[in-house]
Each structure stands twice: as structure tokens, then as C-alpha cells.
Amino acid sequence: MQLLENPIGVFDSGVGGLSVLRAMREQMPNESVIYFGDQGHVPYGPRSMEQIQKFSEGITHFLLEQNSKLIVVACNTASAAALKYLRGRFPEVPFVGMEPAVKPAAEITKTGKVGVLATPATFQGALYASVVERFGAGVEFFQHTCPGLVGQIEKGELESNATRAILEDALLPMLEKNIDTVVLGCTHYPFVIPLIERIVGRECSGDRPSSLGGETGQTSA
């Protein structure tokens, strides 16, 4: 298989963006890709917008030095905090970012109640407020930041009791409110879909993070 020459640069705070990379590989098998996981600074979620912008700018410089022709910010948190900033700093570079899949969730919910799991920085960013305003009319959203979950996933603890406890804290109160759809608003979270399915039951739908401006990825759990 002949790989196309200049790579697509992809970055995340850690392993989360690998869930995006997996989808890219399926859809664009001929593209060469360079992946940067900023495991020296993970998690990004509790950090300030300025800090996340600084890290994202440094990583962008590195990926451009590797001749990246396009950069995928495979992280909802970095997209929320830094996508606009990066587009301003590097006007000649095309960036693709993530936003929580609020739109497909609002379209498929039957109870009109949707749970959203994402990091504090993602919820604070203007991007989240904007997708809820644009696509969430008539739907009630229940948000949770799942403290510690990104760290558990980085450690590879996808099934442990501690990971389960974090997810139960987030999801059980939402189930009591009658949610029927869960938005995974962090690219780390698809790695714990099997555990989430066991907590919420298979009739609850899980939406994967979607790409900004592109088609939304969606999976029925």
C-alpha cells in the first residue's frame, strides 16, 4: 500500500486520540499519520485555557516540523480551549477539532434526556455552550466531569472497580433522571464503552465524539 507523502498530524493529551486515529485509519488507510500524545501533561481537563493553549501551540510547532499537512486536534478539551487560538496563530494550517456529539444525541433521544460526560475545560468552553444552543432545543442535558477517569484510562484500567465507581457516580443519578442517551464528550471515553454499557444497559445509546464541521460518528450501544 502506497502511503500519501506528507503526514496528517494528530494530537491529544494522551491515549484518547487513538480512538480518533482508529476511525481515521478505517476511512483513510492510505494516509500517513503522526500521533502525539502529551502524556507529560495529561490530564488537560482540569487545567486553565491558557495552559492548554500553550501546550497545543507547542505540539502544533512540533507536528509542523514533521511536515504535517493538516492537524487533527483529537481531544475535546484542547478543541474547546485552543482550536480558535490555534487557527488564529497558524492561519495557513487546516485544523480539524472535536465537539461533543450533542446533535446526534438530541436527534435520537426518546425521553428528551441526555447524559454528557466530558472534562471541566470542555464544559467551560464556548464550543459546548454553542452546540447545546444550536442543537439541544427541547432536550435536557445532565453533565458530569468524571474526575479521575482520564487517569484510569491512561493507566489501562478499563475494567477495574475504581474505574467502575467513577462511572457509576456519574451515570446512576442520570439514569434516575431517565436519560436514554449518553454523549462521550472526551476521546478517552470510548475505551470504556463496554463498562459504560454494563452500567447503563444496552438500550441506552452511546455517541462517540464527533468531528467539527464533519459528519458525526455515532454508535448504538
Whole-angstrom Cα distance, residue 137 to residue 185? 18
Judged by CB under 6 A, the residue of 53, 56, 119, 145 near ligand DGL is: 119
Q: Between helices 76-89 and 49-65, what is the axis angle to 10°?
A: 70
- Interacting stretch for ligand DGL, rule CB under 6 A, among 9-17, 29-37, 163-171, 173-181? 9-17
User: Rg of the chain over CA atoms, in angstroms?
Assistant: 17
Judged by CB under 6 A, the residue of 143, 188, 204, 208 near ligand DGL is: 188
Q: Is 60 a residue that touches ligand DGL (CB under 6 A)?
A: no
Q: How far is the CB of 92 from ligand DGL (least distance, A)?
A: 25
Residue 31, strand partner residues: 4
Whole-angstrom Cα distance, residue 148 to residue 98? 21
Q: Is 122 a residue that touches ligand DGL (CB under 6 A)?
A: yes
Q: Is 20 a residue that touches ligand DGL (CB under 6 A)?
A: no
CB closer to ligand DGL out of 42 and 175: 42
CB closer to ligand DGL out of 117 and 175: 117
Burial class (CB in 10 A: 0-12, 13-18, 19+), 48: exposed
Closest to 183 measured CA to CA, from 216, 160, 152: 216
Q: Is 45 a residue that touches ligand DGL (CB under 6 A)?
A: yes
Whole-angstrom Cα distance, residue 170 to residue 117? 8
Judged by CB under 6 A, the residue of 53, 77, 145, 181 near ligand DGL is: 77
Binding site for ligand DGL (CB under 6 A): 12-13, 16, 42-45, 75-77, 119, 122, 150, 186-188
